[in-house]
Amino acid sequence: MKIFRKLLAWSIFASFTLTTPLSTALSQQAQPYTYPPGLLTELKQLEQSALASDYAYRQVARLCNNIGPRLSGSPQAAHAVRYIADEMRRLGLDVQLEKVMVTHWVRGVETAELVKFAGQAPGTTQKLVLTALGGSVATPAEGLTADVVVVQDFDQLQSLEKERVAGKIVVFNKRFDQQMAAQGFAGNAYGQAVAYRVAGASVAARKGAVASLIRSVGGADYRLPHTGSLRYEDNAPKIPAGALSAEDAELVAYLASQGDVRLHLTLTPQTLPDVESYNVIADLKGSEHPEQVVIVSGHLDSWDLGTGAIDDGAGVVIAMQAVNLIKHLGLKPKRTIRFIAWMNEENGLAGGRTYAIDHKNEFGNHVAAIESDLGAGHPTGVSAHAGAKAVEILQPLAAILQEIGAGVVRQTSGAEGADVTPLDVAGVPTLSPIQDSRTYFNYHHTSADTLDKINPRELAENAAVMVVAAYAIACLPDPLPR
Ligand SMILES: [Zn+2]
């Protein structure tokens, strides 16, 4: 009865109707919901329009091929901010640039050669393929030369006497589990290996190492080094840090098993003074509850080696397409749909943190935050870090998105997007498309993260997931429960 009365109160906009047989309704089981026919029609229209439109692909081509890599503090990042803001204004949205101070790290020379190893042909060296980790300090301009000590993991390093490590270059040969990635758990495989990228330098430095090299965190094909940010801990000396291609990490480990290996390493990155940058925020105002906000987002900054196509140009343009389609079809969401292109996800997360500070008092009115940051692979559905009730209310999305093979609505144990994590911690439901990420980490943070890695059809499917989820949440009779 209580449910029935509530339905009546929702009047004509009632989004949920009781479709459960009485026998089930009398039990303790959750009630399946359906959305009102009008909303269903609009969601179908949005889904079909997303598939028919090349807007998202044209936008990501622009970001990657015309503007290029967009590392925080770079001229390209600044240009991308202006470009996105202009594009959002062109769509008729209310645009704000939210100031964010970002780190400005620039890559320099990055070379390494093996200068001593077992069986070496006289007078020769072997070149290694590597890249500096974001935030790394530099070696002397002429480089440094030291013996290497290869370990599989932190435990093995800790088990070594300090004298075995002092003055040497530590090589962490921690393998990225490609089998796990191939089975659809790429994020988990990444999580296991990325700790070495983030913390390896400080752990090695505390043992007296003069530099730290990791095995690249990602797929091992094509001898590609994968960059990414590190974090120096306050209680350890800052030593230069890089990532070897997986093949070269294997090479060094092989040679080290035969005897002494000596390496000449030159990394000359620089950290310049912080730069003023921006989150681009563009509101499509809600018709009934403009103060209530549903975020659609991706991060605008990228690493500098490639052109930031799958990480995360794709996420930005999926979110752009969401507001573009709603505008284009003349639909009027009841709540505000807020597009955000986050700045500095890759090496500082200043954008997400700044938003959390500046908008703290409005979090009560943040109904949901969607971020896409796992590429542009075929989506199989949408994940939500939200309460059971909210996930139940989102279930009807499954039937709509099933048409494109994205009919899974799944509850997760935490936020999938880094930038929306502060919102998530504050209790705001966070959502992401569930993407096929089996090959994502082959290209992630490499020079091969380029436009050709994006399949236009799959990008459009992701846009469909983003817009259908966002529009539904923005139009439900009640805010999504927490
Ligand atoms: Zn990313």
pLDDT in tens, 259-278: 999 999 999 999 999 999 99
Within 13 A of 274's CA, how many CA atoms are on the CB side? 12
The DSSP result for 391-459, as a single string, is: HHHHTHHHHHHGGGT--EEEE-SS-SSSTTHHHHHTT--EEEEEE--TTHHHHTTSTT-SGGG--HHHH
Residue 267 CA, ligand 1 centroid: distance in Å = 24
| Per-residue pLDDT at 314 | 98
> What distance separates the 2 farthest-apart alpha carbons in the chain?
89
Say how far apart CA 233 and CA 160 lie, in whole Å: 21
The question of whether 392 is a catalytic residue gets the answer no
Residues 6 or more apart whose Cβ sits within 8 Å of residue 394? 382, 384, 386, 409, 431, 469, 472, 473, 480
Report the pLDDT averaged over residues 106-120: 98
Report the pLDDT averaged over residues 246-257: 98
- Helix (H), strand (E) at residue 158: helix 154-158
CB burial of residue 5 (10 Å; 0-12, 13-18, 19+): exposed
**Does residue 119 carry a pLDDT above 90?**
yes
Residue 191 CA, ligand 1 centroid: distance in Å = 14
Whether the link from the prior residue into 312 is cis, omega within 30° of 0, is yes
Residue 302 CA, ligand 1 centroid: distance in Å = 7
For residue 244, the Cα-to-chain-centroid distance in whole angstroms is 22
Please state, rounded to an integer, the average pLDDT across all residues of the chain.
Answer: 93
CA angle, corner 300, sides to 188 and 48, nearest 5?
A: 80
| Per-residue pLDDT at 14 | 34
Amino acid at 302: S
- The model's confidence at residue 19, banded by pLDDT at 50, 70 and 90, is very low
CB burial of residue 11 (10 Å; 0-12, 13-18, 19+): exposed
Residue 149 CA, ligand 1 centroid: distance in Å = 31
Q: Quick one: what percent of the chain has pLDDT higher than 70?
A: 94
| Per-residue pLDDT at 411 | 97
| Per-residue pLDDT at 4 | 31
**Does residue 166 carry a pLDDT above 50?**
yes
Per the CB < 8 A criterion, the answer to whether 46 and 460 are in contact is no
Residue 344 CA, ligand 1 centroid: distance in Å = 10
**Does residue 7 carry a pLDDT above 70?**
no
Better-predicted residue by pLDDT, 243 or 11: 243
**Does residue 248 carry a pLDDT above 90?**
yes
For residue 130, the 8-state DSSP code is E
| Per-residue pLDDT at 20 | 39
- The model's confidence at residue 34, banded by pLDDT at 50, 70 and 90, is confident
Residue 299 CA, ligand 1 centroid: distance in Å = 7
Residue 245 CA, ligand 1 centroid: distance in Å = 20
| Per-residue pLDDT at 140 | 98
**Does residue 459 carry a pLDDT above 60?**
yes
From the list 112, 466, 476, 449, the residue with the least C-alpha distance to 307 is 449
Residues 6 or more apart whose Cβ sits within 8 Å of residue 3? 18, 31
- The model's confidence at residue 32, banded by pLDDT at 50, 70 and 90, is confident
Residue 132 CA, ligand 1 centroid: distance in Å = 18
- The model's confidence at residue 28, banded by pLDDT at 50, 70 and 90, is low
Tens digit of each residue's pLDDT (9 = 90 or more) over 145-158:
999 999 999 999 99
Report the pLDDT averaged over residues 233-258: 98
Per the CB < 8 A criterion, the answer to whether 369 and 431 are in contact is yes
Report the pLDDT averaged over residues 449-454: 98
Sign of CA dihedral 427, 432, 434, 440: negative
Catalytic residue among 42, 87, 345, 461: 345
Residue 261 CA, ligand 1 centroid: distance in Å = 35
Residue 163 CA, ligand 1 centroid: distance in Å = 39
**Does residue 59 carry a pLDDT above 70?**
yes
| Per-residue pLDDT at 303 | 98
Report the pLDDT averaged over residues 269-294: 98
From the list 16, 43, 42, the residue with the least C-alpha distance to 406 is 43
For residue 161, the Cα-to-chain-centroid distance in whole angstroms is 38
**Does residue 479 carry a pLDDT above 70?**
yes
| C-beta neighbour count of 138 within 10 angstroms | 16
| Per-residue pLDDT at 30 | 53
CA angle, corner 162, sides to 157 and 167, nearest 5?
A: 95
Say how far apart CA 196 and CA 154 lie, in whole Å: 8
**Does residue 114 carry a pLDDT above 50?**
yes
Report the pLDDT averaged over residues 367-380: 98
Pairing between β-strand 408-411 and β-strand 379-385 as defined by DSSP bridges: parallel
Tens digit of each residue's pLDDT (9 = 90 or more) over 298-349:
999 999 999 999 999 999 999 999 999 999 999 999 999 999 999 999 999 9
| Per-residue pLDDT at 24 | 42
Residue 28 CA, ligand 1 centroid: distance in Å = 42
Say how far apart CA 393 and CA 25 lie, in whole Å: 16
From the list 310, 308, 315, 437, the residue with the least C-alpha distance to 372 is 315
The torsion angles phi and psi of 264, rounded to 5 degrees, stand at -105, 125
Tens digit of each residue's pLDDT (9 = 90 or more) over 62-94:
999 999 999 999 999 999 999 999 999 999 999
Say how far apart CA 139 and CA 337 lie, in whole Å: 47
Residue 69 CA, ligand 1 centroid: distance in Å = 13
| Per-residue pLDDT at 299 | 98
Residue 314 CA, ligand 1 centroid: distance in Å = 10
Question: pTM (2 decimals)?
Answer: 0.92
